[in-house]
Structure 1
Amino acid sequence: MSSPVTAPLPGLDPSTAAALNDGLARVEELLRARVSHEDPFIAEASGHLLAAGGKRVRPVLTLLAAQVGEGADERVIAAAAAVELTHLASLYHDDVMDEADLRRGAPSANATYDNSTAILVGDLLFGNASDVVADLGAEAVRIQARTFMRLCGGQIRDDRPCPPDQDPVEYYIGVLRDKTGALIATAARFGAMFGGCDDRTVALLEEYGELLGIAFQLADDLLDIDSRPGVSGKTPGTDLREGVDTLPVLLVRRSARPEDARLLNLLDADLSNDEQGVAEALELLRAHPAMEEARVYTRGIAARAQEQLTPLPESAAVDALRTLAASVVDRAV
């Protein structure tokens, strides 16, 4: 059985690509088995977002981190599936909180079913992920629990304004470190752990994963402003409609140039049902120096992720991880 997700990296060493695609196929098989349920409705709702596809960045990272060591055994495959189940579960909850209608180009679970079903299916998937991790030992359970706490803490802080005594950009990056970076860090940590890497390599790859997660989210923030409908597959301006201040917006607010008065008025307005206002704000943002500043910042985070790999012996897997860090930002910068 082939995986619907193939190695998303250009120029991979053929043996690395083959191992990665084989691992992804095994992860996908386990994911489908895990979202299955004796109740047809629960099985359908649990598999709703899985069937929509996705980049599978977290399983890819787990598998590549394992290749830095001895490669992927059944524990690595299980760990990769567990982090993806955790990610999928978080998406069900995110869509309810965001009142989203679409996810990965398909109707969201809350739109397809209802909010209560989406929340409960998310809880079911979190439980499913924990059940997979329970077979990997006490340390893995502890890591999973602490990751989950960080995810929730990051989401809570993301929904609250930056405290007046904190720098808004630093606060936002801290939110991303927990909300997005924590699970991607765990994906790398699990791969390295169960791939037989030593403690130093595990720590380096964990920090690499956390920085990769921050860069990944910052690139998404840029795409939300700079993408064009029908080109990237994203609907631009979603964050503006939801009143979310991402890095480019925070940098605009920090600069506060006199010529930004109109843009700042739009950013302070309720744009949830104002498509003309969203379009104007996007046009002004795309021309603002804050966009290039945000791109430079994003490239810098990706470069820091790559620097974590410097102490590791050169290998095809390390080279692939270096390429992965570049690829997550290349789509936006």
Structure 2
Amino acid sequence: MGMNENVLKPLDQLSSALAADMEAVNTLIRQRMASRHAPRIPEVTAHLVEAGGKRLRPMLTLAAARLCGTADDRHVLLAAAVEFIHTATLLHDDVVDESRQRRGRPTANLLWDNKSSVLVGDYLFARSFQLMAETGNMRVMHILSDASATIAEGEVLQLTAAQDLATTEDIYLQVVRGKTAALFSAATEAGAVVAGADASVQRALFDYGDALGIAFQIVDDVLDYGGSTSTIGKNVGDDFRERKLTLPVIKAIAAADAEERAFWERTIGKGQQDEADLATAMTILNRRHALNAAREDAVAWSNRAKDALAATPDHPLRQTLSELADFVVARLS
């Protein structure tokens, strides 16, 4: 499973359409990640920010604003704020998960230390709120601050639900809305708000970002068991080794016989794993058609994202955003 040239086209089209805006966002990011008194802050931030990420979340903010006819450059401030929130959560997540690789490179906590990662993440959160305030739009501040709280809540929920074999698909969805979809939906909704779109368009773009984010996370969870390190930017099987109850495993557990349930209890519930267990997990996931079922869920959420765009203005970016929803799930083909 991986990406090919045709799959990449929607993301390339979005990057091209938003090139001038993204150049302004990147300039602003470099300016605001600086610190006169603590040089480690730009060192740690640059390691992640300049690691070749697609900048998908800030591009969603820019696209939503342009789609709605923005008349000023406040969407640039918002896009930079969204990227800082995302980067801060990645720094914190890698500490919590004890990750060693991110976007194909060693994580910041591995190169520096956990304290640096956490504190630099805190700094970036603060910077993001400064940028929000500069928009002068209280509604935007509510959207992004609520999203920040939801992200943290989702991560804490995942801590309690991750190794609990009683975790349901509903709980999984709540976790995903927190850790991933909340920032997608906030990015698109805030872009619409700062552009002065009416309430129905704001809601439509919220729904688009929400569904796109859920599809995105489900795809990531499936790829963890069937992708490649170069495709997903981390080690294949990390979710299994970190005992995360992602959607494919939740589906497999729901259909498990006694022997399979005992396997999941040992490896996920108790964390007693050996080198052969990942291959066994793959065998069970395929036997129970869990990966295919998760793929189908991702496609359904992608379709919901595309349907939400019907209520948005007729603009070339609307088609690009629709194709982007296809791109997210096409990573599985």
- Determine if the TM-score, normalized by the shorter chain, exceeds 0.5: yes
1:8-157 alignment runs, 5 A limit: 10=9, 18-38=16-36, 39-71=38-70, 73-137=72-136, 138-157=138-157
Kindly provide the CA deviation profile for residues 89-146 of structure 1, in whole angstroms up to 9, marking residues without a partner as x: 0011001100111111111111111111111000000000011101112222222221
Q: Which moved more, 1:29-38 or 1:253-262?
A: 253-262
Q: Is the 8 A contact 1:227 1:234 kept in 2?
A: no
Q: Which moved more, 1:190-199 or 1:103-112?
A: 190-199
Give the Cα–Cα distance (whole angstroms) in 2 for the partners of residues 29 and 108 of structure 1: 24
Q: Any conservation in 2 of the 1:185–1:207 contact (CA below 8 Å)? A: yes
Show the counterpart of 2:219.
Answer: 219
Percent identical among aligned pairs is 36
CA contact (8 A) 2:152 2:179 kept: yes
1:229/1:186 Cα in 2 relative to 1: closer, same or farther (>3 Å)? closer
- Separation in 2, partners of 1:32, 1:262: 50
Contact 2:215 2:298 in 1 (8 A): yes
The farther-off stretch of 167-176 and 66-75 is 66-75
Tell me which moved more, 271-280 or 219-228: 271-280
Distance of 2:161 and 2:101 partners within structure 1: 26
1:56 is aligned with what amino acid? Answer: R
The 2-side partners of 1:92 and 1:163 are apart by: 22
Q: 1:167: Cα distance to partner?
A: 6.5
Q: CA deviation at 1:261?
A: 5.7
Query: Secondary structure at the residue paired with 1:310?
Result: helix
Q: CA distance change for structure 1 residues 124 and 134 in 2, over 3 Å: closer, same or farther?
A: same
Write out per-residue CA displacement over residues 63-107 of structure 1, whole angstroms, 9 at most, x where no aligned residue: 111121114732001101100100000011001100111111111
For the residue of structure 1 that corresponds to 2:243, the secondary structure is coil
TM-superposed deviation, 1:17: 5.5
Counterpart for residue 195 of structure 1: 195
Q: Which residue matches 1:254?
A: 254
Distance 1:188 1:40, change over 3 A: same
Q: Secondary structure at the match of 2:310?
A: coil
Q: What are the within-5 Å matches in structure 2 for residues 289-328 of structure 1?
A: 289-328=289-328
* Partners of 2:218 and 2:298 within 8 A in 1: yes
Q: Which deviates the most, 74-83 or 41-50?
A: 41-50
Asked whether the equivalents of residues 219 and 328 of structure 2 are also in contact (C-alpha less than 8 Å), the reply is yes
Could you say if the C-alpha distance between residues 270 and 51 of structure 1 is closer, same or farther in structure 2, counting changes exceeding 3 Å? farther
Q: Could you tell me which runs of 5 or more consecutive residues in structure 2 were left unpaired when the two chains were aligned.
A: 1-6
Divergent runs of 4+, >6 A: none
Indicate the structure whose relative CO is greater, using CA pairs within 8 Å and at least 6 residues apart.
2
CA RMSD after TM alignment: 2.6
1:168 deviates by: 0.5
| Cα distance change, pair 233–132 in 1 and its aligned pair in 2 (3 A) | closer
Structure 1 CA distance, aligned partners of 2:39 and 2:12? Answer: 42
Q: What TM-score, normalized to structure 1?
A: 0.89
Structure 1 residue 285: deviation in Å? 2.3
Q: How many residues align?
A: 324
Q: Distance in 1 between matches of 2:71 and 2:322?
A: 19
Greater mean alpha carbon deviation, residues 243-252 or residues 176-185: 176-185
**1:21 and 1:273, CA in 2 relative to 1: closer, same or farther beyond 3 A?**
farther
SS in structure 1 opposite 2:186? helix
CA drift of 1:149 comes to 1.1
In 2 relative to 1, CA 207–113 (structure 1 residues): closer, same or farther, beyond 3 Å?
same
| Deviation for aligned residue 1:153 | 0.8
- Cα-to-partner distance string for 1:170-229 (whole Å, 9 max, x where unaligned): 111011112211111110012111223222101110111111111111110011011134
CA contact (8 A) 1:86 1:126 kept: yes
Asked if 2 retains the 8 angstrom alpha-carbon contact of 1:266 and 1:277, the reply is: no
